[in-house]
Structure 1
């Protein structure tokens, strides 16, 4: 039974993260529409709002809930899960899951503002905001694979370095686009 629960948990974790990654990308697009012509806004805003609505309520939130239900079931109703629950790495992982839910709730606030036609953040902020879920994903994967509450730090430090390099690349690309006028 445990292996089936684990498979279902992993499937919904993957779809949950896919939803989180894509919703923030949609937020970037929705935010950039504010700078378009009126005709473009009239076409793009309703389409992006519909796409965001479907992604948020049909994929992302249900995946978060189902991933959590299967995790809860594994942890509290199987002997293997109860044993994992007592380990340090699992407690740290659950802390990251709580952080992921906080991230999702903040995304929900952004989603609601954009659905009302408000522009809560710049597209640059949202591009960086999208990396928060990536950092959480790296931390959780390293924790689960290494099963160690300390060694995951090396993986997270590595992804932070990569993220900094990506931000520098993003800044370089932004400056290049500004020079070209595109």
Structure 2
């Protein structure tokens, strides 16, 4: 597979993964506010399905990114910073899975306001990664 095709697939998987990282915490906001059992169950079903859908997309984003890095020799200080931020996203993704399990067990102790703030982290990471990839400041 050529470099440009691989890069296009990497971007596609990253964008798709981020769609889930942006929307799943918004479902958590709504779950934290849900008062009716039917509403809670519907939102929980949506959250669990989204998490199961976005996990392979994240893995494919990681796999294509690693292939670009190791297979095509992409290097630089900016890449180390980007990889650290990707590590933050992987931890964030895993914590989203824990939150899904907490909601399923009716064990959530966080407020909808906390989830509104939590929802902003991937936006900030995306901005930082884009600056690193496009500007390559170091």
TM-score, normalised on structure 2? Answer: 0.94
Q: Distance in 1 between matches of 2:48 and 2:97?
A: 11
TM-score, normalised on structure 1? Answer: 0.72
Structure with the greater alpha carbon radius of gyration: 1
Asked if 2 retains the 8 angstrom alpha-carbon contact of 1:110 and 1:120, the reply is no
Q: Distance in 1 between matches of 2:31 and 2:39?
A: 8
Offset at residue 120 of structure 1 (A): 2.9
Offset at residue 118 of structure 1 (A): 2.0
* Residues 30-49 of structure 1 aligned to structure 2 (within 5 Å): 30-33=31-34, 36=35, 41-49=36-44
Q: Distance in 2 between matches of 1:143 and 1:74?
A: 16
Gaps of 5+ in 1: 150-182
Number of the residue aligned with 2:126: 137
State whether structure 2 residue 59 is matched by structure 1 residue 70. Answer: no
Gaps of 5+ in 2: none
Offset at residue 7 of structure 1 (A): 0.4
Structure 1's consecutive aligned runs of 4 or more residues displaced over 2 angstroms after TM superposition are: none
Root-mean-square deviation over aligned CA pairs: 1.0
Between the two proteins, the alignment pairs up a number of residues equal to 137
Offset at residue 49 of structure 1 (A): 1.2
Greater RCO, CA 8 A, separation 6+: 2
Offset at residue 42 of structure 1 (A): 2.2
